[in-house]
Amino acid sequence: MSKLKKPYIKKSYESDGSKSDTFLMFYESMHLSPAWKSLGPTAKVLYFACKSQSHSEKHKKNPDQFTMNRSKWCHKYQIYGEGNGAGFTRDMTELIEKGFIICVECGANSRTKSVYQYSDMWLKYNTPGFEVPDLVKTIAMLGFKKRKNKEPP
Is residue 63 exposed (0-12), middle (13-18) or buried (19+ Cβ within 10 Å)?
A: exposed
Helix/strand/coil for 102: strand
Whether the pLDDT of residue 14 is over 70: the answer is yes
Nearest to 31 by CA among 122, 96, 119, 101: 122
What's the CA gap between 42 and 96, in Å, rounded?
14
What's the CA gap between 27 and 10, in Å, rounded?
19
- This prediction has a pTM of 0.81
CATH of domain 39-136: 1.10.10
Residue 96 sits at φ, ψ, to 5 deg, of -70, -45
Whether the pLDDT of residue 84 is over 90: the answer is no
Whether the pLDDT of residue 146 is over 50: the answer is no
b/e burial code for range 131-140 (CB count within 10 A of at least 16 → b): ebeeebbbbb
Domain map of the chain by residue range? 39-136
Q: Counting runs of H as helices and runs of E as strands, what totals does the chain give?
A: 5, 3
> Residue 42's pLDDT is what?
93
The 10s digit of each residue's pLDDT in 55-75 is 777 767 788 888 887 778 877
Mean confidence (pLDDT) of the chain:
83
Contact present, 66 and 57 (Cβ < 8 Å): yes
Residue 23 pLDDT grade (very low, low, confident, very high; cuts 50, 70, 90): confident
Give the other-Cβ count within 10 Å of 102's Cβ.
23
Contact present, 115 and 61 (Cβ < 8 Å): no
